[in-house]
Amino acid sequence: MSPDPSRLAAALLLEAGAVAFDPGTGFVHASGRRAPTYVDCRRPIGFPRIRAALADLLARRLLERAGAEAFDVIAGGETAGIPYAALLADRLALPMAYVRKTAKGHGRMARIEGRLRPGDRVLLVEDLATDGGSKLSFVEAIREAGGECRHAAVVFAYGIFPALEDRLSAAGVALHALCTWRDVLEEARARRAFEPATLEALAAYLADPEGWAPAAG
């Protein structure tokens, strides 16, 4: 496997069977976008060694980019971010919380579950990022609860929608992604993981993601 952490993460996603291509009809993502690709970052949690390796790589990236004492709490976004937040909280020896998409309809009516005190520096963790919409909602909930959230971490980011980092940057949030579609494409080519025509179709989509859906009909 490649010594580059991003390529290694891409290789782990491929090994877990988390990467799917359908150049014909494609997939509809949570953001509402249609694409010929889908990365299921929930799937690796079913592979103990792969999930551990991804968590190790993501923890190392955060230590390199943010520092060892940058956070007080690790918060996972409902639902796919929760297992990765738990893995990171364990590796960074920090308390954990999670953020609901909406307030639960009983009890404290809370969106934040777990430990979060006013002024805590919170790392938001999710599985992946497309256009950043859900991240901003989670960040808002953390800030409304009194936490400080300037960093978000994901295993995978599409890396082809400029609005993603622009939106997060405007909100004062730095995104730390372990790998992107460029890394997955390079690793898939190196491994010959898919047919050449499939990889060519993916490369065409990455070059013009906004134009793919109309072209595909």
The pTM is what? 0.91
Q: Where do the domains of the chain lie, and which CATH numbers do they carry?
A: 5-216 (3.40.50.2020)
The pLDDT of residue 34 is: 79
Distances (CA, A) of 23 to 15, 87, 194, 211: 21, 34, 12, 13
Q: Helix crossing, 196-207 with 181-191: angle to 10°?
A: 160
What pLDDT does residue 108 have? Answer: 63
Sign of CA dihedral 80, 83, 78, 177: negative
Give me the pLDDT at residue 4, please. Answer: 93
Percent of the chain with pLDDT over 70: 94
Say what the pLDDT of residue 26 is.
81
Q: What integer pLDDT is reported at residue 209 of this predicted model?
A: 84
Instruction: State residue 109's pLDDT score.
Output: 60
Q: Comparing 63 with 30, which gets the higher pLDDT?
A: 63
Q: Is pLDDT above 70 for 194?
A: yes
Q: For 163-184, how does the pLDDT look when each residue is reduced to its tens digit (9 = 90+)?
A: 777 889 999 999 999 999 999 9
User: Cα dist. 142→11, 86, 97, 147, 187 in Å?
Assistant: 33, 17, 10, 5, 36
Q: Does residue 131 register a pLDDT over 80? A: no
| Cis status, amide bond into 180, omega within 30 of 0 | no
Q: For residues 50-67, give the mean pLDDT.
A: 97
pLDDT for residue 2 is more than 60: no
Position 206 scores a pLDDT of: 87
Residue 32 confidence (pLDDT) above 80 = no
What type of residue is 74?
Answer: I
Sign of CA dihedral 182, 193, 44, 137: positive
Is 213 a residue whose pLDDT tops 80? no
Residue found under tokens 């859900």: 134
What are the tens digits of pLDDT across the range 67-126? 999 999 999 999 999 999 999 999 999 999 999 998 876 556 689 999 899 999 999 999
